[in-house]
Amino acid sequence: MNNMNMPKIPLGEWVDSLVQWVTVAFAGFFTLLTNSIEGLLNIIVDVLSVGPPIVLIIFLALLVTYTSRWPLGIFTLVSLLLIDNLGYWESSIQTLAIVLLSGLITIIIGIPIGIWCAKRKTVQNIVTPILDFMQTMPAFVYLIPSILFFGIGVVPGIIASFIFAIAPTIRMTNLGIQEVPKDLIEAADAFGSSSSQKLFKVQLPLAMPTIMAGVNQSIMLALSMVVTASLVGAPGLGADVYRAVSQIDVGKGFEAGLSIVFIAIILDRITQNLRNPAYKHVLKPRLAFSILAVLVIGTAIALAILKGNTTSAPEDENSIGAQTDYEIIGIEPGAGLMALTSKAMEDYGLDQWNLFEGSSAAMVAELKKSYDAEKPIIVTGWSPHWMFASYKLKYLDDPKGSFGGAEDIHTLVRKGLDKDAPGAYTILDQFSWEPSDLEAVMVDITGGLKAGEAAEKWIKANPDKVAKWTNGAQAANGESINLVFVAWDTEIASTNVIGKVLEQHGYNVTLTQVEVGPMFAGVANGSSDAMVGAWLPTTHAEYFNTYKNDLVDLGKNLHGTKNGLVVPEYVDIDSIEDLQ
């Protein structure tokens, strides 16, 4: 019910049902599209990676010099050499390939739609509000159905980038054609020109500056999506930035961000001056771009031939590696579990396997998709987690102990909280529950209840446990308490529960969602009062050791957590050693 006491329109449920139907009905199409996009992306990456980095650096420097004069050519040379020196060359290649492919798809689809809009007023009236919707809808929203349609990895990132970036190309193509002077159209008609002749010989040439401005903006928008795309496993500089944010590594964040800036400037200058190169008097544009096309296409063909001639040992199609494409689906790049998984892969010699970075939500979405289809999948997992109640899953045995033993979840507070808010300090100090309690809240949240509602439901059902937490705690009178947490299902549940208890005790509670690094830093520097989601001694050890002198550890609030690699029960392996 809402504030007007009217039943809520189940819009979200309708959208969920539609997405589920589309996922099943068009599964074959999505698989074909995924394979096609991945194939094109691999070709672009292979072409850009031919030879040592200096080859592409010199090539791009010459291209920028030709289009935008020698000072920018020197800037390109220096900036790309700096990127290579800082160790971000491979990430830059991935990012450049993603942006180029997103831009190519945008041009192929966007320009024809823009032409259609210019030719048909009805089409324009239909497309315009759709473009308004696409441009104003938060880009993160596009990632949700993209994961279900295309799985985790680079493809949903490219699709989301394409949707977010295509609008300027369509709008500017439409505008450019409509702004062609009518007297020129009338002159073309007077000479008996057909519709296609008018379009290709009059309208498009005159509209090209406007169209290229739209293409330029679309490429810049696609580049702005690289960090967002990293949430679903897209590689490149975006993942480096996301990792730096999670770990509060200012230096690496600046380096990766600066690399993105350099690539943005280079692409911007090339696309701005593509129609009117600075040195066109030295080398005609048609000849220059013909040479460029021959080099790119020739390199792609040569690489394809070389790959075709390369023979490899036959692989057992029934092996777990072949069935999962040697992929382990991970979570946020800054999570301690990801570091543990990397260590486990090294300990067990899993050199063929790839650990996909993304987010907890993306991992669960990929798990659900594979589980519903009964396909093998390997994910990074931890318990307590609601997915163990929703799906039949099992941990892979870890005979080498790479993931460590059982962990505890600790409560950490800022220094001075015991004096500033003694009641809150007492409640937080006495806060303790069992994994089954936490899982009950998570299951309710997954079932459709809001986090706050699920917390209130659990509190009402467990008054005795809550009474132990609040025993002897001084009542508050509206004092503010800021609880900080990460967007893990466990921390969402626990933070909402303790937050509701503090509210019932008279505190004005604010819940702030951040990444792991900022969570620890916020409590340590006093900008946040407390957190109830510190996994120790393993998962969050690095962050705790960094800030332990600037915060207070109130001890464990939950015992018996576990980390490891998780598979559905129908997958016929039992140990990490089975992946070797």
Q: Which one has a higher pLDDT value, 290 or 332?
A: 290
Instruction: Return the number of other C-beta atoms located less than 10 Å from residue 1's C-beta.
Output: 7
Query: Under a CB-based contact definition with an 8 Å cutoff, are residues 562 and 406 in contact?
Result: yes
Query: In the block, which residue shows the tokens 């050791």?
Result: 545
The residue ranges of every structural domain in the chain are: 26-305, 319-580
Q: What is the pLDDT of residues 519-537, one digit of tens each?
A: 999 999 999 999 999 998 8
Confidence class for position 15, pLDDT limits 50, 70, 90: confident
pLDDT for res 526: 92
What mean pLDDT is predicted for residues 440-452? 88
pLDDT for res 319: 83
Least confident of 18-27, 400-409, 503-512, 537-546: 18-27
Query: Under a CB-based contact definition with an 8 Å cutoff, are residues 353 and 321 in contact?
Result: yes
Least confident of 40-49, 60-69, 138-147, 481-490: 138-147
What mean pLDDT is predicted for residues 202-222? 91
Collapsing DSSP states into helix, strand and coil, what is residue 411? Answer: strand
Residue 305 has pLDDT above 90, yes or no: no
3-state helix, strand, coil in the chain (%, to 5): 65, 10, 25
Q: Of the spans 224-233, 302-311, 313-322, 476-485, which averages the highest pLDDT?
A: 476-485
Confidence class for position 446, pLDDT limits 50, 70, 90: confident
What mean pLDDT is predicted for residues 386-396? 89
Q: Which one has a higher pLDDT value, 160 or 166?
A: 166
pLDDT for res 58: 94
Residue 471 has pLDDT above 70, yes or no: yes
Cα–Cα distance between 480 and 459 in angstroms, integer?
21
pLDDT for res 458: 95
Angstrom CA distances, 27 to 12, 23, 40, stand at: 22, 6, 20
What percentage of the chain carries pLDDT values higher than 90? 49
CA dihedral 124, 129, 132, 137 (to 10 degrees): -140
For residue 100, which of 211, 3, 215 has the smallest C-alpha distance? 215
pLDDT for res 5: 66
What mean pLDDT is predicted for residues 389-399? 91
Residue 188 has pLDDT above 70, yes or no: yes
Please state the φ and ψ torsions of residue 117, each to the nearest 5 degrees: -65, -40
pLDDT for res 321: 87
Encoded amino acid at 71, one letter: P
Confidence class for position 85, pLDDT limits 50, 70, 90: very high
Least confident of 140-149, 291-300, 392-401, 527-536: 140-149
Confidence class for position 107, pLDDT limits 50, 70, 90: very high
Collapsing DSSP states into helix, strand and coil, what is residue 163? Answer: helix
pLDDT for res 1: 52
DSSP, residue by residue, 295-334: HHHHHHHHHHHHHHH-------TTSHHHHHTTEEE---TT
Confidence class for position 81, pLDDT limits 50, 70, 90: very high
Angstrom CA distances, 512 to 49, 271, 414, 541, stand at: 42, 41, 15, 22
Q: Which CATH architecture has domain 26-305?
A: Orthogonal Bundle (1.10)
Residue 246 has pLDDT above 80, yes or no: no
pTM of the prediction? 0.78
Least confident of 226-235, 483-492, 553-562: 226-235
Q: Give Cα 418 distance to the centre of its chain.
A: 39
Q: Which CATH architecture has domain 319-580?
A: Roll (3.10)
Residue 67 has pLDDT above 60, yes or no: yes
pLDDT for res 25: 84
Cα–Cα distance between 571 and 198 in angstroms, integer?
61
Angstrom CA distances, 419 to 321, 413, 425, 468, 478, stand at: 56, 12, 8, 21, 16
Q: What angle is formed at CA 296 by the lines to CA 294 and CA 298, rounded to 5 degrees?
A: 60
CA dihedral 510, 513, 517, 523 (to 10 degrees): 10
What percentage of the chain carries pLDDT values higher than 70? 97
Mean pLDDT over the full length of the chain = 88
Q: What is the pLDDT of residues 336-362, one digit of tens each?
A: 788 889 999 999 999 899 998 888 888
